[in-house]
A = this chain, B = another copy of it.
Amino acid sequence: MPINAQILDNPKSDRVRRVADLARAKGRERSGRFLIEGPQSVREAVTWRPDVVQDLYVEVAQALDHPRIASSTLEKIVDTSQDATIYVHRCTGEVIRRISSDAQGIVAVGNANAIRWSVEDVDLGGAPQVAAFWQVRDPGNAGTVIRAADAAGCDAVVFVDDCVDMLNPKVIRSTVGSLFHLPVLTMGTEEFFAWTAAQHMDVWAADVYGIPGREPESLPSVLADPGAAGRPKTVLFGNEARGLEPGILARCGRIVSIPLYGKAESLNLATSAAVMLMSLAMSRHIETM
């Protein structure tokens, strides 16, 4: 835990500007780094993936003659990071707020290459359960579905085709740390179907419409089908507005829809993903009880 002796107090310095610039895609591309904002996300990053974290910027209390880290919560996070080679920079509140309005006293800078998983790095185990999202565009949704997949015990998340950048700060904030809990892969559509086939996983589409000649199965029937929930599989969800294309649905082994029992016409993507992934996870658990 090398701690920079000097306290950063100039919100207009080059370093501060460069860190703040990681909120933008351009800044991340240029530097190969990304921003992790707020105590909860930073804590999960230094706990589960200290190899990803390069720098911590943490607020010190105003008495600069005896600078102390601003709170015990922040102090604990800095302590957690001490076994790894993470550079700790103490900053004034003004500097932290210039870096990010969502910092709440702490931000980390991560190495983008270290958090981007390739398929070779992912060990899925015996009966893999994967959640995949095709063309998800909204950063809040993307983060929330990573969190739901984590809660459901999925072995990996895949963003397929043209999705939002998983290192967008809004995505990371919405994962509430889950980005650092499980592998998140990005791949094209063809690569996705090749990979799931090579891993002997079925692909189930989450979709309410189906295609001509193939009505979706209702999720409760699937849950009532013994062994179905436990089979090695990827559940694939579509774009927020357009769902999944017929050409993609036709390549999926099952098409499964969430029933609506009242008058609501739909559930949004994040809610659908949570309901389907958690139901399947609980069903697997009931079968092994």
Name A's B-contacting residues (CB within 8 A): 48, 144, 147-154, 176-178, 181-182, 219-221, 223-224, 258-267, 270-271, 274-275, 278-279, 281-283, 285-286, 289
Contacts and interface: CB of A to CB of B under 8 A. Distances in A.
Contacts of A281: 259, 261
A182 B263 contact: yes
What are the 9 A-B residue pairs with the smallest beta carbon separation, nearest first?
A153-B261, A181-B263, A150-B264, A150-B262, A151-B264, A220-B282, A153-B262, A275-B278, A271-B274
A197 B154 CA distance: 40
Given A176-B264, A181-B262, A224-B286, 20 more contacts: A148-B267, A149-B262, A150-B264, A151-B264, A152-B261, A153-B261, A178-B264, A181-B263, A182-B262, A182-B263, A219-B282, A221-B289, A258-B278, A259-B282, A261-B281, A261-B285, A271-B274, A274-B275, A275-B278, A278-B279
A119 to B, nearest CB: 20
A151 B283 CA distance: 20
A261 B151 CA distance: 5
